[in-house]
Amino acid sequence: MMIILSGLEHSLAPIDLRERLSFTKRQTIEMVRQIRSFPHIAGCVLISTCNRTELYVSCTEETDPGQLLCQAAGTAYTPYRDAFMTLREKDAVRHLMEVASGLRSRIWGEDQIISQVKGAVALAREAGGTDSVLETLFRSAISAGKEVKTKVRLTSVPTSAAGMAVALLKEKFENLAGKKALVIGNGEMGRLSASLLRQAGCEVWVTLRTYRHGETIVPPGCGVVPYDERFTRMDGCDLLISATTSPHYTVTADQLAALSSPPSVLVDLAIPRDIQPEAGALPGISLYNIDDLGNFSENRIVPPEVDEILASQMENFYRWLNYKDCMTSVDSLKQAIVERLYTLKEMNEGLSEAEIIALSVDKTVDLMVTGLAERINSENLMKCESKIRLHTTSRPVIF
């Protein structure tokens, strides 16, 4: 079984390419179902976030996950050929560990990536796309991410896109106290953005498409405006953040230009983008997208303690994988021993049942010890003997 990953990562693929292969939860489930049905694919998990779209597959033959993803999405592969990063086996495993630990994010050590990795494997499971290899791999990666988060301080700057967005706005306005802000979107990113703006002293409104009492969460201190009335509330605001999962623009350049007093600073936290890029060319307006937040550098130095955590989790995963592979061989070995037992019984009809068993065990153990000569040692043999004696039973063998 091979583990292969192909992905579009923010450090290699520009935002206009990433947003074309960005998927909602429902779309992700459909992609996983399609890809899992392709030949030689034993399991697959698709991660789709603002920073990356990555497809992990466990497969029985060499394959190109990038091509499979484009095929499932109904889009041409050629524009992405040089943008996809493809890694195999231990390189793919290490990469996922780094992703879950926030080491591959534009915002160094970002907070949300662990929940995004959890969400990806949960969606794949719902779609029937995972197998034991990917389930265990993602569980190990999530454990690595949690351990890094709790034991190592990677940075002192904000570790979420929303936090970086508010930091940028503070830089632009110097003081956010009393500024009027509109946040389009009431998902996790939108709520966090609104909360941070409110903490900074802004007067904040959040858009809602629908309101269900007891179910809809509105950040404390924030006003609410229906999504369809967003431009009425936007007129006169100082700043705008948009963070939705909409496949269409929530704000176009023409809609913004029609306002008598549009926001002077716009921050687009969505992939695909919420705000039409041309809006940034309007007089007096500055537009920032997700790639403008944080500074990603391949030269970031990973602390030694992080390397130790990742190495330990990788070792745990490969120990499990080796055990899993061995169990398949053990089943075949058991069958071979049973077959040999019957063969010896037929060849030595004059021997008693106990003599046949003794002869079979003697030959089988000799062959096994010879085959494992390079790895076997007396300490492990003694442990094996102790376990055998502990589980010895008087139940007779029935031929």
What pLDDT score was predicted for residue 399?
46
Of the residues 50, 70, 202, 237, which is catalytic? 50
CA angle at 28 for the pair 26 and 30, rounded to the nearest 5°: 75
What residues form DSSP beta bridges with 47?
54
- In 86-101, which positions are buried (b, 16+ CB within 10 angstroms) versus exposed (e)? ebeeeebbbbbbbbbb
What pLDDT score was predicted for residue 111?
78
Q: Going residue by residue through the chain, which has 399 residues, state the pLDDT in tens, using 9 for 90 and above.
A: 899 999 998 878 888 888 889 999 999 999 999 999 999 999 999 999 988 999 999 999 999 999 999 999 999 999 898 899 999 999 999 999 999 998 888 777 787 899 999 999 999 999 999 999 999 999 999 999 999 988 987 765 556 888 889 999 999 998 999 999 999 998 889 999 999 999 999 999 999 987 555 556 889 999 999 999 999 999 999 999 999 988 899 999 999 999 999 999 999 999 999 999 999 999 999 999 988 887 655 457 788 999 999 999 999 999 999 888 777 666 676 777 777 667 766 776 667 777 777 777 777 777 666 766 667 777 777 777 777 667 655 455 444
What pLDDT score was predicted for residue 16?
85
User: Whole-model pTM?
Assistant: 0.76
Q: How many CB atoms lie within 10 A of CB 379?
A: 8
Instruction: Tell me the DSSP string of 245-256.
Output: --SS-SB-HHHH
Phi, psi of 287 (to 5 degrees): -120, 130
Residue 267 in contact with residue 288, Cβ under 8 Å? yes
State the alpha helices, DSSP H only, in the chain: 15-18, 25-36, 65-73, 89-100, 113-126, 132-151, 161-173, 188-199, 230-234, 253-257, 304-347, 353-371, 378-390
Distances (CA, A) of 196 to 14, 16, 96: 28, 28, 30
CA angle at 170 for the pair 167 and 176, rounded to the nearest 5°: 130
C-alpha neighbours within 13 Å on the C-beta side of residue 393:
4
The answer to whether residue 50 is catalytic is yes
Residues with Cβ within 8 Å of 188's Cβ and at least 6 positions away in sequence, in order, are 112
Structure tokens at 248: 């269409």
Q: Put the strands of the sheet holding 2-9 in their side by side order.
A: 41-48, 52-59, 2-9, 85-88
CA angle at 394 for the pair 388 and 397, rounded to the nearest 5°: 90
Tally helices (H) and strands (E) across the chain: 13, 10
Residues with Cβ within 8 Å of 218's Cβ and at least 6 positions away in sequence, in order, are 186, 206, 208, 224
